Structure 1
Amino acid sequence: MHVTIAQAQKIVEASRAKAEALNTQMCIAVVDSGGNLKAFYRMDDAWVGSIDISHKKAKTALFFGMMTGQIGQLSQPNGPLYGIEHSNDGLITFPGGIPIVDDDGVMSGAVGVSGSTVENDHAVAEAGVRAVGQIELPEHPWRT
């Protein structure tokens, strides 16, 4: 199952509203369950570099079925996933990417946000995902 365009638009709108509430400019990327870009929104004055980062955060969250901040914790030196960011044509392992999981626990895509602090990036991504799904993810052996 893939995230629909209607869901992607809800995610973008909720994320944009949260970014405005935080008084920041963001790039917001939504990918489907295959990692393909479904929707993208770049707010006025958002950093150009955040275009690629937001898309990679979304793909990273999707590829591993967990929030990018969780992957970042596991990829620290001496961690079980150290160096993972060099795989898959480059991953982003700091907060701002969250899988989209429906009420049945099916992952249909992911959202990635970039343009501010990692705390703001995560909050904006979370607002988007909450507009269509849930944050709690199915059990995963790497999840701590």
Structure 2
Amino acid sequence: MKLSQATTMLDAAHAEARRRGVSVCISILDAAAWPVAFIRMDGAPLGVIDVANRKARTAVLFQMDSAEFAKIGHPDGAAYTLENTNGGLASFGGGLVLRAPDGSMLGGIGVSGASTHDDVEIARIAAATLVA
């Protein structure tokens, strides 16, 4: 994950959050789950800093979007309480795996602070800049 890619994604996510009238945190990690870029918009609650990071970490560590991870981590799922591993993960939408056009994993993005639907859509718009 290049810093230039991460900042382009941050810009796209930030613009979409403003368009939707929401304040979020956006965390972008590389393929080893290390931070590359982060912003906390004015008005975003402090608690969503950690949530955005955990959503991105979940996507990277399990190589699946956090919404998909939720399908196995819920009380009736095959791996209930899995979110308690790896220093804490997120089992709801807003974390996406970031892939290069050739399919290789670049890292993950986590968005938190709005509704889960808005978090996911903001992350998708940011991720789409990787193929533009």
Identify which of 86, 95, 110 aligns with 1:112: 110
Give the TM-score normalised by structure 2. Answer: 0.96
Q: How far apart are the structure 1 equivalents of 2:5 and 2:13?
A: 12
Q: CA RMSD in A?
A: 1.1
Give the Å deviation of 1:78. Answer: 2.6
Answer yes or no: is the 8 Å Cα contact 2:93–2:116 preserved in 1. Answer: yes
Q: How far apart are the structure 2 equivalents of 1:115 and 1:10?
A: 20
Give the Å deviation of 1:73. Answer: 1.5
Residue equivalent to 2:88:
90
Give the Å deviation of 1:133. Answer: 4.0
Q: How far apart are the structure 2 equivalents of 1:67 and 1:133?
A: 18
Tell me which protein shows more helix as a share of its residues: 2
Structure-to-structure mapping, 1:55-134, within 5 angstroms: 55-133=53-131
Residue equivalent to 1:141:
none
Secondary structure, aligned partner of 1:131: helix
Identify which of 28, 31, 35 aligns with 2:29: 31
Q: How far apart are the structure 2 equivalents of 1:123 and 1:28?
A: 12
Structure 1 residues not aligned, in runs of 5+ = 135-144
Evaluate the alpha carbon distance shift between residue 35 and residue 21 of structure 1 in structure 2; reply closer, same or farther with a 3 A threshold: same
Give the TM-score normalised by structure 1. Answer: 0.88
Give the Å deviation of 1:77. Answer: 1.7
Secondary structure, aligned partner of 2:122: helix
Q: How far apart are the structure 2 equivalents of 1:25 and 1:36?
A: 23
Structure-to-structure mapping, 1:33-48, within 5 angstroms: 33-48=31-46
Deviations 1:51-109 (A, max 9, x none): 11101110100111111011112212231121110000100110000011011110011
Answer yes or no: is the 8 Å Cα contact 1:71–1:81 preserved in 2. Answer: no
What is the aligned residue count? 132
Q: How far apart are the structure 2 equivalents of 1:47 and 1:133?
A: 31
AA aligned to 1:21 is R
